[in-house]
Amino acid sequence: MGALWRSARYYEGDRKLNTSETQFELFESQLAEWKVQVVKLEAKAAGADDEAKPAYVREVNELKAKFSKTEKQYNEARKAQKGTLPDTMDGLSSAGRDLGHAVGKPIRRFG
């Protein structure tokens, strides 16, 4: 997501272009990728032995809660897209980073 996500606008020659649509598309793409990873974790949890299963299930449930919260925030920002303030986009970016770290943690742990 990088600098493009953090910046609400970029310049192309003399034209200033709004990148909010691009930002939303990038965020949607990232959410879809993370969802696939969570589904893989769920599959591992289903096949885990009795000792490891509670840890998997706990991690998956925490991720689902974070997904729900982040998707709600995303949907609210998307509905108000034209009037989305930079602070809202920064908050959404922060939520995305937090979710990315949350998804990465169990992947590294159980992966």
Q: Is residue 85 a part of any domain in this protein?
A: yes
42, 69, 97, 4 alpha-carbon torsion, rounded to 10°? 120
Q: Is residue 64 part of a domain?
A: yes
Within a domain: residue 14?
Answer: no
Phi, psi of 88 (to 5 degrees): -65, -45
Q: Which domain holds residue 52?
A: 30-110
How many domains does one find in the chain? 1
89 in any annotated domain: yes
The tokens for 85 are 């303030």
Q: pLDDT 10s per residue in the chain (111 long)?
A: 444 444 444 444 444 444 577 778 888 888 888 888 888 888 888 888 888 888 888 888 988 898 888 888 888 887 776 655 566 667 777 777 888 878 887 777 776
Helix or strand run (H / E) with residue 12: strand 9-12
Q: Is residue 99 part of a domain?
A: yes
